[in-house]
Amino acid sequence: MPKPPPDQAELSPEIARRRTFAIISHPDAGKTTLTERFLLHSGAIRMAGHVRAKGDARRTRSDFMTIERDRGISVTASAMSFDFRHFRFNLVDTPGHADFSEDTYRTLTAVDAAIMVIDGAKGVESQTRKLFEICRLRDMPILTFCNKMDQDARDTLDIIEEIQDLLAIDVTPVNWPIGSGADFFGCYDVKDGQAVVFDRTGNRSGDRPARRYRLDDSRLDELLPAGRLDALREDVEMVRELLPGHDRDAFLAGNLTPIWFGSALHSFGVTELMDGICSLAPAPAARTTNERQVSPDDPQVSGFVFKVQANMDPRHRDRIAFLRLCSGQFRRGMKLHQVRSGKTLTMASPKLFLAADRSLAEEAWAGDIIGIPNHGQLRIGDSLTEGEHLTFTGVPTFAPEILRRVHVESPLMTKHLEKALNQFAEEGLAKLFRPRFGTQWIVGVIGDLQLDVLAFRLAEEYRIPVRFESTPFTSARWMTGPEPLIDTFALANKQHMAVDHDGDTVYLTRLAWDIQRVERDYPELALAATKESLRPVTGPDRPKRAGVH
Ligand SMILES: Nc1nc2c(ncn2[C@@H]2O[C@H](COP(=O)(O)OP(=O)(O)OP(=O)(O)O)[C@@H](O)[C@H]2O)c(=O)[nH]1
Ligand SMILES: [Mg+2]
């Protein structure tokens, strides 16, 4: 019988104070700006960077790559740890663009809650909806921040109804906006019944607390235009009567979301949201493995790799595996067992991603995200333990939708290219396929922007200029089944066969019909559009690799 997760009150104080969450949304809703404000209000940084500013002021902590700063968009998830009040926040800022959604999906496997950011003028956009569905599949608690209220926004009730209708989740307002755009005067705090007045001139630096007034305070009549206060009183009445109040169980089950209104850019509503994370968001939850449930207060250390990032620091070629700790107290220098290979790895210089820079993680607890520098031994989906055979589940990889041959001008660079492509495949930036026929590598991605990032990073980090050429292929499927049958099949379908960078057999498809044909003619072969975690390197379960060497 799996052990039920302990109540927050039963957890050790170090675990109970941890809040591990991702910020998700459609592109441009303000995730990176909000992240920067969190860092500012926690005291981790003294000046917030701006995504679209000029020069050094553009330097936001989560958009650290050159291409992110050049284009003003996030292309990769980035993790940061900092303290706020007596809580430890582990935050992951994710890219909104659909082309990078695989990275965002994997990030969602490593967190306990999500902050969904909505642009007040746009409401629930397509990518927000998709990401929400993923959270729903994982029953993840969601806090909502309706951003950009300093710009003209849609009617508040309209936004709330849209969230309720499109996402099928109840919404409970924590605050209620008083106007928007040029007429944005602040928000009414539903719980304490006070109006928090927005100071457009003073709040950007985040050091001036907003002023609060009771609704019967006569000074409000002077601050708000005629009629605005009456309208607010009516709204408040309506909120109390029509909208649900907070229900912790419904929230933890992902059936109700509290919503804050504000402006990340102007630091309005941000500390209120941070307070909400402390009081409402859950402490680290129990995690599922193939073998058993892992409770955060299990004494032995365990965790899994959900992201790999190469060359984070351009000065030294490093490769960092992001490990979500799921149990135990981690200490620098400890030896951990890599379940897939059976090898022991010494955690000599684990990193903590503190806001301003990276520092050595002397100790860490369940819920924390730490970086393990390595030379390629650690892969996405890897489980690490103190010796027990545990395989954490649910870190997916998806079939690509665009397949391109990689052309490099100089044949002298072929070896170098192979190394670089493998590195990016291990990061999950692209799938890499070695076709059975032909010598050129094929890369597979979900969207064109990934190809841009790949070409940019090959040129910048490895000085390899490449061109992508079309292929006849439209997708790929991972193939498993009895060895002799795979061999027979591969012989008859040579042009379609390849292996991915893990050595797993892949069938490259040209037409959707191809898949149906294989499934009909070879019922014993399984074609999968997603691949879960990594399989052990050795052992009887190891699937047949269709060799192409
Ligand atoms: N007026 C206004 N603009 C904002 C606010 N928050 C963010 N912005 C602007 O919106 C734009 C996008 O902000 P980002 O923080 O990069 O958005 P993002 O969600 O991280 O975008 P991606 O990572 O590319 O998905 C930038 O120009 C910000 O300055 C706000 O509260 N008010
Ligand atoms: Mg961003």
List, for residues 103-148, the tens digit of each pLDDT value: 899 999 999 999 999 999 999 999 999 999 889 888 999 999 999 9
The region of weakest confidence among 48-62, 95-109, 458-472 is 48-62
> What top-level class would CATH report for the domain 397-531?
alpha beta
Determine the distance from the C-alpha atom of residue 417 to the mean position of all C-alpha atoms in its chain, rounded to a whole number: 28
For residue 259, the cross-strand partners are: 144, 173
Ligand that comes closest to the CA of residue 269: 1
Q: How far is the C-alpha of 497 from the C-alpha of 518, rounded, in Å?
A: 13
Specify whether the backbone of 194 is left (phi greater than 0), alpha (psi in -120 to 50) or beta: beta
E strand map for 374-491: 383-385, 396-398, 402-408, 431-435, 442-445, 466-470, 475-480
Question: Atom 7 of ligand 1 has which residue's CA nearest to it?
Answer: 30
Residue 465 C-alpha to ligand 2 middle, in angstroms? Answer: 27
Residue 385: band (very low, low, confident or very high) from pLDDT cuts 50, 70, 90: very high
Write out the two tokens for 304. 């899994």
C-alpha span between 244 and 260 (Å, rounded): 15
Q: For 80, what's the count of Cα atoms within 13 Å in the CB-facing half-sphere?
A: 27
Residue 78 has pLDDT above 70, yes or no: yes
| Pocket residue to mutate for ligand 1, from 25, 32, 34, most atoms within 8 A of Cβ | 32
Atom of ligand 1 nearest to the CA of 117: 19
Average pLDDT over residues 485-490: 94
Share of the chain above pLDDT 70, in %: 90
pLDDT the model gives residue 546: 33
Segment among 134-138, 278-282, 340-344, 466-470 with least mean pLDDT:
134-138
Q: Which of 265, 270, 273 to mutate to test the pocket of ligand 1 (most atoms within 8 A of CB)?
A: 265
| Helix locations, 45-176, DSSP H | 66-71, 101-108, 126-137, 156-167
Contact 296, 11 (CB under 8 A): yes
Distances (CA, A) of 34 to 52, 84, 145, 225, 273: 14, 15, 9, 29, 10
At residue 440 the predicted structure's pLDDT band, cuts being 50, 70 and 90, is confident
> Are the beta carbons of 287 and 297 closer than 8 angstroms?
no
Bigger pLDDT: 206 or 460?
A: 460
Q: Is the CB–ligand 1 distance for residue 60 below 6 Å?
A: no
Q: Ligand 1 pocket, 271 CB below 6 A?
A: no
Chain mean pLDDT for the chain:
88
Q: Give the CA angle between residues 92, 347, 341 to the nearest 5°.
A: 90
Residue 359's SS3 state is: strand
Calpha distance 445→105 (Å, rounded): 15
- For position 55, what pLDDT does the model report? 61
The ligand minimizing its distance to the Cα of 72 is: 1
Nearest one of 326, 331, 367, 369 to 349, comparing CA atoms = 331
* Ligand 1 atom having least distance to the Cα of 33: 15
Where exactly does CATH 3.40.50.300 map onto the chain?
Answer: 6-78+111-280, 287-385
| Centre of ligand 1 from the C-alpha of residue 369, in Å | 25
Chain-centre distance for alpha carbon 348: 26
Dihedrals φ, ψ of 91, to 5°? -110, 140
Single-letter amino acid, residue 234: E
* Closest residue by CA, ligand 1 atom 1: 148
Cβ neighbours for 234, distance < 8 A, ≥ 6 positions apart: none
Residue 488, Cβ neighbours under 10 Å: how many?
Answer: 13
Residue 379, classified by CB atoms within 10 Å of its CB into exposed (0-12), middle (13-18) or buried (19+), is: buried
Mean pLDDT of 187-191: 93
Pocket residue to mutate for ligand 1, from 24, 33, 126, most atoms within 8 A of Cβ: 33
**What is the whole-number distance in angstroms between the Cα of residue 375 and the centre of ligand 2?**
28
Q: Reply yes or no on whether the pLDDT at 538 is more than 60.
A: no
The CATH number of 6-78+111-280 is: 3.40.50.300
pLDDT band at residue 543 under the 50/70/90 scheme:
very low
More confident site: 75 or 110: 110
With a cut of 90, say whether residue 397 has pLDDT above it: no
| Nearest-angstrom CA–CA distance, 143 and 417 | 43
What would the mean pLDDT of 56-76 be, rounded to a whole number? Answer: 78
Would you tell me which CATH number, out of the four given (3.40.50.300, 3.20.80.10, 3.30.70.20, 1.10.3720.10), belongs to the domain 287-385?
Answer: 3.40.50.300
Is the shortest distance between the CB of 94 and ligand 1 below 6 Å? no
Residues with Cβ within 8 Å of 168's Cβ and at least 6 positions away in sequence, in order, are: none
Question: Which residues of the chain are in CATH 3.30.70.3280 domains?
Answer: 397-531
